[in-house]
Chains A and B, each alone.
Chain A
């Protein structure tokens, strides 16, 4: 796997995204993703993480958003502003934020929708694979998704994406609103998918601690820009990341009026 590590799979080159022709959300984002790696995208609310994912997957269009500048290069072709139908067929599948199951379809039907990108659909084997990754779903096959728990739904939407045989999987906050134990389970599975299927993964997370444990590389976003990047272990040790995203202050001591200083330090990134 180490040989492939240097291969550039996805490259965002200075992209800007504008919604409804006026609201600029991304202001020149560049990032590179190498094959078979997990890349984590961190940042506070409204930093533009989700928008970045949607720019890659083509889902900006239905929301009246557009990549106005820059280019997105995936596996030998430019894909900025292609339609979601084309992009998904190239192997980029996004798992949307906040678990969006098809509520009135059963678990198994939900999974079958994941085969939409493939013409020939021998999906039996894929179902086995998904149930192997997410054993919790096996018992719920015939249940309407609307009646499943949050953890089950997160597994469902990830399983649904796996049915499409993604080459690049975009995960938007898989830990959102889940119990800590379930979060750990989900992250373990993400790593397993990456190791066993060789799927390249971009992981958007608020839970920086968890994300940096499984990711190989990380980017930090703020206000529509990338403000920091680095190998995951290095990021974990970075004092700013530690303070703002991991919630540990430098000496482990509680801060008092030094807070003002840290606010300034944060401002410098903008």
Chain B
């Protein structure tokens, strides 16, 4: 039982991270119909930026964290501005190839500067952050990542529900022509969704780096997990992305704990296929409102 709870907690906190980074992916897709194949590399960029700031620049952790978030935000913004905007109106395949190209550029840059070895952050989480319930011990990393995950989730919920910018973003995702006719700056919305997606990806990159260590290949591969997550949740549902992320996270940790760590990456896909057989649009995808 203790083992089960332990796995459950780990799965939930990892899943929340998957869900958050998938949310960024879905946001880009919903507002501008772009599938971002460079999402994993955005995670890696965040993770390495944090590494540079903490180890080489020696900044205090919270400052490095904030700067990484800001840096990722700017990176996402710049990517949209420089590469995506000229392609607005072009057919989807060009845009997808562009993101694939961006992925290899980012990966190449990171490999060039940091090599393919495993890096680790200095130990910075206080051991007191871990929680002990009976025989269940939750390591500090998981406590921290759950905390950050929930904070981000609540902040984004509030942002989309109440802030004008959030409502504009939802309006563009809903009906772009109508938004345009009311004077919503659609291009600004695109840029903002890239910036926010990159920021969340950077945050997830840091936490995953703390958990698994930082390696270019591994982190960008984890980033690719947004695909099963968003397909499971439905490509156009932000809530679905979060729930899909949690499901994939739980599946992974339970497979790892009860069956075998080597099957960790396989079982989620197997379950994904089964779910898609029953619900081809994902669990929460495309619930078109039909007026009766």
Contacts and interface: CB of A to CB of B under 8 A. Distances in A.
**Listed residue (A84, A105, A147, A160) with the most chain B CB atoms within 10 angstroms of its CB:** A84
Interface stretch (B52-60, B63-71, B170-178): B170-178
Nearest to B181: A94
B289 to A, nearest CB: 3
A61 B178 CA distance: 14
Contacts of B186: 85
Contacts of A150: 291
A161 B89 CA distance: 26
A104 interface: yes
Contacts of A112: 164, 167
A149 B292 CA distance: 8
Interface string B150-186: 0000000000000010011011001111111111111
Interface residues of A, number: 37
B183 A84 contact: yes
A13 to B, nearest CB: 23
A218 interface: no
Given A144-B289, A147-B289, A113 B179 contact: yes
Interface string A99-124: 01111110001101111110001000
A96 B181 CA distance: 8
A112 B289 CA distance: 21
Nearest to A115: B164
A150 B292 CA distance: 10
A93 B181 contact: yes
A144 B89 CA distance: 30
A42 interface: no
Taking each of A88, A93, A157, which has the highest tally of chain B beta carbons within 10 Å of its own beta carbon? A88
Interface of A: 57, 59, 62, 64, 84-85, 88-89, 93-96, 100-105, 109-110, 112-117, 121, 144, 146-150, 157, 160-161, 164
30 contacts: A59-B177, A59-B181, A62-B180, A85-B185, A85-B186, A88-B182, A88-B183, A96-B177, A96-B181, A100-B177, A100-B178, A100-B181, A102-B171, A102-B175, A103-B174, A104-B170, A104-B289, A105-B167, A105-B171, A109-B171, A110-B171, A112-B164, A113-B184, A116-B179, A116-B182, A116-B183, A144-B289, A147-B291, A148-B291, A157-B178
